[in-house]
A and B are shown apart, each in its own frame.
Chain A
Amino acid sequence: NAGVTQTPKFQVLKTGQSMTLQCAQDMNHNSMYWYRQDPGMGLRLIYYSASEGTTDKGEVPNGYNVSRLNKREFSLRLESAAPSQTSVYFCASSVRTGLSNQPQHFGDGTRLSIL
């Protein structure tokens, strides 16, 4: 039972390069989320997708774009990476909150360094 799978697990980029972080869930969840975690800052929401076909900005969306490819997959793209985007990125998924008491389930994270 894989849950939430993120790829890659580690990545080093140079400033200005682009890349896409992939996330897939096999729990038939409607909602998916991208967070970043910085030391001492907790998790901050970048973008989320409440259901297939919709995406919305979170707390810190600048410099990122997302695509909800289908119900299972939600990708995060950095078009022109900056050192300030060095962070650990977590993808999460959940059943639609208003319809369930279940918490969000998190992937193992992608550790991204931008030089």
Chain B
Amino acid sequence: ELKVEQNPLFLSMQEGKNYTIYCNYSTTSDRLYWYRQDPGKSLESLFVLLSNGAVKQEGRLMASLDTKARLSTLHITAAVHDLSATYFCAVPADRGSTLGRLYFGRGTQLTVWP
């Protein structure tokens, strides 16, 4: 069974600081998704990473994918309070399949304080 591990699970950081969230997965996959969830809300898609070496950036967030290492990172640059949320990575369960099943990490709860 595919396992997806995120770390850290809890992250408290000061505004203006940089930090990286890590997502490791246990089997070969050629794509990975990052989602954001605000408290009590739904999940919002942040990034879709489709190949080895893929890098996507939006605002203060940058995501990358290393399929050989089975690792994705979500880097936060100069954090602001609005980035406080829970971040999930998700990996397809069936490589090359159209079934679309996803396995999610447990999430990283990020709190940015002044």
A residues contacting B by CB (< 8 A) are 31, 33, 35, 40-45, 48, 50, 56, 58-59, 90, 92, 94, 96-99, 101-109
Contact = CB atoms under 8 A, between A and B. Distances in A.
Contacts of B92: 97
Contacts of A104: 33, 45, 100, 102
Name which of B41, B92, B99, B107 has the most chain A CB atoms within 10 A of its CB.
B99
B104 interface: yes
Given A97-B92, A103-B48, A45 B102 contact: yes
A42 B42 contact: no
Contacts of B96: 98
A39 B80 CA distance: 25
Interface string B73-114: 000000000000000101010001111111111110000000
A24 B38 CA distance: 22
A97 B98 contact: yes
A44 B102 CA distance: 9
Given A41-B106, A42-B104, A103-B33, A108 B98 contact: no
